[in-house]
Structure 1
Amino acid sequence: MDVQSMHIANGIINGPVSVLFLAVSAIALAVCVSKARADLDDRLAPMAGLVAAFIFAVQMLNFQVLPGVSGHLLGGTLAVILVGPWVGALCVATVLIVQCLLFADGGLTAIGLNVFNMAILGTAVAYLLVAALLRILPKSPAGLGATALIASVIGVVVAAMGFVGQYALGGTTELSLAGIAGTMAGVHVLIGIGEGLIAATTVVTVARVRPDLVYALRRYRTTRPAVHKKPEGVTA
């Protein structure tokens, strides 16, 4: 099995499990399309295009993690922070489908598996973490950067563990499940740190220049209660 990428090749997972996750991913993406309509506006639509293009570019770059082992970034946390969970999942899924069809990056029969792990599972975990952390950390560029780093590391590892779960259900090779889990977890912790640093740098830069374009800041900023002034001439 190739451990150089999060993308699953044809034949690694058997047919029934692949079809199951294709159906699950299709349903999840349909929900995302329905929910995304409420978020898309003149500000978010162009940002979604930029996010998808950025994720496409960084996913095409493989970097060495250990001797003989390399990986690539996923971009789910970055997408969630900048354009929200529904649009973010669609951005990642679009990139994965284009990479599969045009560059044979990931098997055609495994497209549902890959979309589930990276666009659905990884993005959902990132969204939950971002929502939780921004209720604790300062809603400032620094707090946003810390959120991006933490959510990226955990989101990438969980997405990698999604493959381990799929392999447990329908793996077709003789490799040890424990060995696969250990390798995937160890490698993707390092990948997550690299992704987190890039995501943090990107969102901090955008937040400092155009905070109104950052979905997470708009969605989770603290609203202060209104102060009602007493009319002039009225005494308590």
Structure 2
Amino acid sequence: MHVPDGFINAPVSVAAGVAAAAAVAVSLRGARRELGDHPPATAGGTPTRAEGSGGERTAPLAGLVAAFIFAVQMLNFPVAAGTSGHLLGGALAAILVGPYTGVLCVSVVLLMQGILFADGGLTALGVNVTVMGVVTVVVSYAVFRGLLRVLPRTRRSVTVAAFAGALLSVPGAAAAFTAIYAIGGTTDVAIGKVFTAMVGVHVLIGIGEAAITAATVGAVIAVRPDLVYGARGLTTRLKLRVGGVLVDAPAAAPAAAPVAARSTTKVWATGLVTALVLAGFVSFYASASPDGLEKVAADKGIDAKAEEHAAKDSPLADYAVRDVADARLSGGLAGALGVGATVVVGSGVFWAVRRRRTAEPAAAGASAV
């Protein structure tokens, strides 16, 4: 759903850019809390410092999540005759690393795609961040948290809620784009028809988004539930049957987790290798059909004033390495380079955010003295 240059007029593009910048600024502040030191809840619901802090786990994972989203977005899957879809990633990022950090993850991906790969207009970057980053995160996380309030407090519930949140986030983003186009579209088209077409095809894409999100969240929960932001504090106290009545078991004394158990190295390395394989190899077999927005734009005529991308001469434009004749090798190298660039930039951003967060208490203590 990458909006190209020329779809939205200049005033609305600028307004969307201001809104996106404000959302990123708010997310930077919120991400400091999500990436900061805060211990998870024990079985009795009481936080313990011995179990390790969430921030030291979330910070390295956030850069990896951005790289994984970049890789999976290269895997267009068929959803209807002549139409394909791809992961948007807002739901996945919000559930794995938190909603504020999730907005930053998607924003990093969109920035790298726009600058390096000429994917998504540069003047439309604010529109893309708003639609693909902010809207998907807000919709998915609201649905996710709402369902967790009524579902049993189990890991399976997290996966189910992730599926539902991701499913609804995609047509939500399609509706948001239609609203922006209704205000600032550069062609005169029937907005009702655009809305019906956009939401209709993106409901189908949402099923793929939901499946990918649920599978990924479920896989991480299976091996390291402590790394899933949306699953924090969901453990419940063990129940014992006493005299035919279920009662809470006494809370066990917290034990310090070994350093190896807190390490994210193995998960990080596995995730990075997976992203490289997806972008560098599997992407060659992705659907070549236009995605939902491209198909609707062509059918309804909203692409009549589309403009060439400012980065069309980039060495990696269109996810291919210039001067590499072999299509498989060219696409694979471009994908691998994209994953590497995204994980470096993303990790740098999140480490900087976390360092500022951890520096704040020290500065406050020094000023108090």
TM-score > 0.5, shorter chain as reference: yes
Q: How far did residue 63 of structure 1 move? A: 2.1
Q: Give the unaligned 5+ runs of structure 2.
A: 36-54, 239-247, 252-369
Q: How far did residue 17 of structure 1 move? A: 0.4
Deviations 1:41-76 (CA, angstroms, capped at 9, x unpaired): 210011101211110011122222222222211111
Q: Which residue of 2 aligns with 1:16?
A: 11
CA distance in 1, matches of 2:145, 2:72: 24
What is the SS of the residue equivalent to 1:216? helix
Q: Which residue of 1 aligns with 2:143?
A: 129
Deviations 1:171-210 (CA, angstroms, capped at 9, x unpaired): 1123321111111111111111111111111111111211
**1:89 paired residue among 94, 97, 103:** 103
**1:185 paired residue among 199, 209, 229:** 199
**Could you say if the C-alpha distance between residues 190 and 77 of structure 1 is closer, same or farther in structure 2, counting changes exceeding 3 Å?**
same
CA distance in 2, matches of 1:173, 1:67: 26
Q: Which residue of 2 aligns with 1:233?
A: none
1:131/1:220 contact within 8 Å kept = no
What is the SS of the residue equivalent to 2:152? coil
Which residue identity is paired with 1:140?
T
1:134/1:144 contact within 8 Å kept = yes
Instruction: Confirm whether residue 152 of structure 1 aligns to residue 166 of structure 2.
Output: yes
What is the SS of the residue equivalent to 1:207? helix
- Larger deviation: 217-226 or 105-114? 217-226
Which residue identity is paired with 1:46?
P
CA distance in 1, matches of 2:235, 2:3: 38
Q: Which residue of 1 aligns with 2:209?
A: 195
Q: Which residue of 1 aligns with 2:23?
A: 28
Which residue identity is paired with 2:30?
K
Q: Which residue of 1 aligns with 2:178?
A: 164
Q: How far did residue 220 of structure 1 move? A: 5.3
CA distance in 2, matches of 1:188, 1:87: 24
TM-score normalised by structure 1 residue count = 0.89
CA distance in 1, matches of 2:197, 2:64: 33
CA distance in 2, matches of 1:61, 1:198: 11
**Could you say if the C-alpha distance between residues 53 and 139 of structure 1 is closer, same or farther in structure 2, counting changes exceeding 3 Å?**
farther
Which residue identity is paired with 1:132?
G
Q: Which residue of 2 aligns with 1:232?
A: none
Q: How far did residue 212 of structure 1 move? A: 0.7
**1:217 paired residue among 212, 220, 231:** 231
Q: How far did residue 219 of structure 1 move? A: 5.0
Which residue identity is paired with 2:212?
I
Q: Which residue of 2 aligns with 1:51?
A: 65
Which residue identity is paired with 1:182?
T
CA distance in 2, matches of 1:192, 1:58: 14
**Could you say if the C-alpha distance between residues 138 and 113 of structure 1 is closer, same or farther in structure 2, counting changes exceeding 3 Å?**
same
1:135/1:220 contact within 8 Å kept = no
1:13/1:170 contact within 8 Å kept = yes
1:157/1:185 contact within 8 Å kept = yes
Q: Structure 1 runs of 4+ off > 3 angstroms?
A: 219-228
TM-score normalised by structure 2 residue count = 0.58
Q: How far did residue 78 of structure 1 move? A: 1.0
Which residue identity is paired with 1:29?
V
CA distance in 1, matches of 2:161, 2:79: 23
CA distance in 1, matches of 2:230, 2:237: 14
CA distance in 2, matches of 1:163, 1:178: 13
* Greater relative contact order, per chain length (Cα 8 Å cut-off, separation 6+): 2
Q: Percent identity?
A: 52
1:8/1:107 contact within 8 Å kept = yes
Which residue identity is paired with 2:141?
Y
Deviations 1:13-58 (CA, angstroms, capped at 9, x unpaired): 1110000000000011001001111221210011101211110011
CA distance in 2, matches of 1:218, 1:8: 35
Which residue identity is paired with 1:36?
A
2:93/2:105 contact within 8 Å kept = yes
Which residue identity is paired with 1:60?
M
**2:84 paired residue among 57, 67, 70:** 70
**Could you say if the C-alpha distance between residues 54 and 153 of structure 1 is closer, same or farther in structure 2, counting changes exceeding 3 Å?**
same
